[in-house]
Amino acid sequence: MPIELNIDGTLCRAEEDELLATVLLRQPVPLFRNHPVDDSPRAAFCMMGVCFECLVEVDGVKNQQACLIRVKDGMRVNRGLK
């Protein structure tokens, strides 16, 4: 069933219970965050909760692993990309 979520202020469609990381990888800019030390762009790597490259803010909670989260209607995601 199609749902809508908000990614950095833009409404995006996805399938309910799809992995958030797969939705983010389909975006025009498929990045997840910038590294806190050198600002290098980061994206999901392992897709199984090991590498922590997929951290994003979900519904106001920072540092959530997008590869372990299922999307829900109305979810708000902030990647904080620079």
Interface ranges with ligand FES (CB under 6 A): 21, 44-47, 49-54, 65, 67
- Our CB check for ligand FES shows the closer of 2 and 49 to be 49
Angstrom distance (rounded) from CA 7 to CA 71: 11
Tell the residue number behind the tokens 């809508």, with chain if given.
4
33's CB contacts (< 8 A; 6+ apart) are 41, 42, 55, 56, 79, 80, 81
| Residue 31 beta carbon to ligand FES: minimum distance, rounded to whole angstroms | 13
| Residue 53 beta carbon to ligand FES: minimum distance, rounded to whole angstroms | 5
- Our CB check for ligand FES shows the closer of 45 and 59 to be 45
